[in-house]
Amino acid sequence: MSLRRLFKKEKQEHRIMREYIARAGQLVPEYHRPTLECPHPERWSMYDSMTAEVEVLEFLRTLVTTIKPSLVVETGTFMGVSTLWIAEAMRLNGFGRIISCEYDPKVFAAAKEKIDASEFRDLIDLRNESSLEMKVDGTIDLFFSDSDMPIREQEVRRYLPQISPFGLILMHDASSHLKQVREAALKLEREGLISVVMLPTPRGLVVAQKREGRK
Ligand SMILES: C[S@@+](CC[C@H](N)C(=O)[O-])C[C@H]1O[C@@H](n2cnc3c(N)ncnc32)[C@H](O)[C@@H]1O
């Protein structure tokens, strides 16, 4: 371990990124704590605690082949794993592109290297900027909010006008244990902005749609 790492607290994203690289794609059982809605998290698998659960990645891929979005926006790239699963589905669809943002320059550089080396790079627009500053043109068909938990509500509010009424909004980390994102989603629902369904996964996943899409 380097002296710098020993004496300076390492940023969580950088530690998990290091572990992700060391594990070289090996899966482990999900270890987030059991919740009322998901009492057996160990039945799910994960690469690491930042990347979405493997089953959620599978769900994302199937969702993209099911609703065939032209434009997907993802906040929080981390190592680009979810970005690549979404892009793979877009390749199957034969069209579509994904914009993904990662504000940490070190994490962004690692994700960019991985994505540049992949066969899906032409479908991915990777941005080294904050989700709260990024500008996106056009209508968003699928919005995947997976950045920092305290800003998820702000993110959804920020992009809501651009999200298609028939599109979908996904908010990850919405379990009853992680609370913050779950409460944000319920607040947006109480305000009449979106309608939510909460999937009982280890970290929780909200699937939502704008109210105006429920016609
Ligand atoms: C949970 S991880 C994303 C995991 C990824 N979506 C996956 O499943 O493979 C969250 C990432 O969001 C980044 N992040 C945090 N706040 C952000 C912001 N405001 N804008 C963009 N990225 C942000 C963090 O640096 C971290 O890498």
For the CA of 151, the closest atom of ligand 1 is 19
Whether residue 57 lies inside any domain: the answer is yes
Whether residue 5 lies inside any domain: the answer is no
For the CA of 104, the closest atom of ligand 1 is 25
Tell me if 102 CB under 6 Å of ligand 1. Answer: yes
Tell me if 76 CB under 6 Å of ligand 1. Answer: yes
Whether residue 176 lies inside any domain: the answer is yes
Cβ atoms of 131 and 140 within 8 Å: the answer is: no
pLDDT for position 6:
56
pLDDT for position 2:
58
pLDDT tens series, the chain, 215 aa: 555 555 567 788 888 777 777 777 899 999 889 999 999 999 999 999 999 999 999 999 999 999 999 999 999 999 999 999 999 999 999 999 999 999 999 999 999 999 999 999 999 999 999 999 999 999 999 999 999 999 999 999 999 999 999 999 999 999 999 999 999 999 999 999 999 999 999 999 999 999 987 77
204, two tokens: 């929780």
Whether residue 104 lies inside any domain: the answer is yes
Whether residue 3 lies inside any domain: the answer is no
Q: How far is the CA of 75 from the centre of ligand 1 (A)?
A: 6
Indicate which CATH number applies to the domain containing 171.
3.40.50.150
Tell me if 75 CB under 6 Å of ligand 1. Answer: yes
Helix (H) or strand (E) holding 85, with range, is helix 81-93
Whether residue 163 lies inside any domain: the answer is yes
Q: How far is the CA of 146 from the centre of ligand 1 (A)?
A: 6
pLDDT for position 22:
74
Q: What residue type is 120 in one-letter code? A: F
pLDDT for position 5:
58
Query: Structural domain tally of the chain?
Result: 1
Beta strands in the chain (DSSP E): 28-29, 45-46, 71-75, 97-101, 124-127, 140-145, 163-172, 194-199, 205-210
Domain interval for residue 117: 24-213
For residue 204, give every residue at least 6 positions away whose Cβ sits within 8 Å of its Cβ, in sequence order, or none.
35, 37, 38, 172, 173, 174, 175, 176, 177, 178, 181, 182, 198
pLDDT for position 107:
96
If one residue of 13, 74, 148, 153 were mutated to test the ligand 1 pocket, choosing by the most ligand atoms within 8 A of its CB, it would be 148
pLDDT for position 8:
67
Q: How far is the CA of 209 from the centre of ligand 1 (A)?
A: 22
pLDDT for position 215:
72
Whether residue 106 lies inside any domain: the answer is yes
Please, how many CA atoms are within 13 Å of residue 8, restricted to the half-sphere of its CB? 8
For the CA of 107, the closest atom of ligand 1 is 27
Q: Burial of 202 by CB count in 10 Å (0-12 exposed, 13-18 middle, 19+ buried)?
A: buried
Please, how many CA atoms are within 13 Å of residue 148, restricted to the half-sphere of its CB? 11
pLDDT for position 128:
98
Bridge pairing between strands 205-210 and 194-199: antiparallel
68, two tokens: 């065939």
pLDDT for position 77:
98
pLDDT for position 167:
97
Whether residue 82 lies inside any domain: the answer is yes
Tell me if 51 CB under 6 Å of ligand 1. Answer: yes
